[in-house]
Amino acid sequence: MIAVGFLPSLISLWAIRKTHARSRLRLRQAAMNFPAMQRRQNLRPVEGDRYYLEGVGYLIGDISCKFNARSGYMRCAVNPEGPCNGCRHYEPKELAGSEKRA
């Protein structure tokens, strides 16, 4: 009688463990199939695209662009992976003291 009472919970535990094992296997397979090129792409910016600004640190991308993120990790919001050369979204940054006069 006691074994019959525990049977539904034992089946439920077995099903849960099998589902967790299957999920772990799928995640492991997805991680192994993830292209290595995409992982390497975000590790380090191109050296020619990197600048050092005193008091700020390293920046990447064209620092004269309006959309530059002024970050060492991301170039800009419009084209974060670059390259900045020939970017169709480039807009020169306006200086703080300049005013438009007509």
Share the mean pLDDT of the chain. 79
- Which letter does DSSP use for residue 35 in this model? -
- Averaged pLDDT, 24-45: 71
Confirm if 84 and 65 have CB atoms less than 8 A apart.
Answer: yes
65-89: pLDDT as tens digits: 888 888 878 888 888 777 777 888 8
Give residue 17's pLDDT.
96
Give residue 23's pLDDT.
95
39-53: pLDDT as tens digits: 555 555 455 678 787
- Annotate 65-98 with DSSP letters as a single string: BTTB---SS--BSSSTT---TT-TT--BPPPTT-
Q: 100 falls in which pLDDT band (50, 70, 90)?
A: low
98: tokens are: 């300049």
Confirm if 77 and 89 have CB atoms less than 8 A apart.
Answer: no
